[in-house]
Amino acid sequence: PLEKVSVKPSVSFTSPNSFGTGGSVTSEAVSYAVKKACEKLLDRMKPIRKDNPNATWETIVQKSYAKHIDLCAEAAFSQLDIPEYLIPALGCAEIEVDILTGNVQVLRYDILEDVGESLSPGIDVGQIEGALVMGIGYYLTEALVYDVKNGALLTNRSANYKPPGAKDIPVDFRINFLRGSSNPLGVLRSKATAEPPFNTTVVVLFALRNALRAARKDAGLPDVWIPLGAPTTPDKILLLAGNTIDQYLLN
């Protein structure tokens, strides 16, 4: 039962073989190692289970302890343990642009992702949502500005470097898992979910380009290619929108 499972903090004094959590490997690494450790414990307790086929899990553990069976097991994960596999995902964004300020509001974001057989749907939804908001910040707000004279980073605090906040979260956020999917190469037929959704957030930039094209058309400007990069911040959007003072004069 899940209520009997507790996760303790990781300390390098007792777990020295730690490594970075990048590349969306954490869920797989931990799950794989836990699975292997559990298999070791099950193998050690097999004689007790054989002699007590109808005993509860607690009873089997107690009898194993009484027989001086080691009830601690460890296992490690190597990236060679799990073959590479693909994680398809599809994103779609609807945005609203304030042409006078350059601010962007993501009205709706839909994503369909192949997560295999999800180990924990609640956690996977949270991972996908976090990756999408991170991508929105990457494409719209988080600008690194350096001093041209000495190379010092000028956007070195939240007053001038803008990570996404609560109001940058899409108004309508829809996360969908591909139905009927299973990953024979992954841990318990699952797939990683942490960073792959980030790649879909480029659709926010595509939607922004379409919005700017519409604004420029209304301003009577030619429909030319609009260069956008990461990030396209409000000041850049304002300049690309084709605003002129003449458009706002009262006749």
The DSSP string of 208-230 is: HHHHHHHHHHHTT---------S
| Ordered DSSP codes for 74-88 | -----GGGS------
Per DSSP, helices labelled H in the chain are 26-51, 57-66, 121-140, 202-218, 234-240
Alpha carbon separation from 97 to 151, 203, 207, 212, 241 (Å, rounded): 32, 15, 10, 8, 10
195 is annotated as an active-site residue? yes
Please confirm whether the linkage preceding 231 is cis (ω < 30° from 0).
Answer: yes
- End-to-end distance of the chain based on CA atoms, in angstroms? 75
What's the rounded Cα separation, in Å, for the pair 68 and 200?
A: 53
The catalytic residue positions are 195
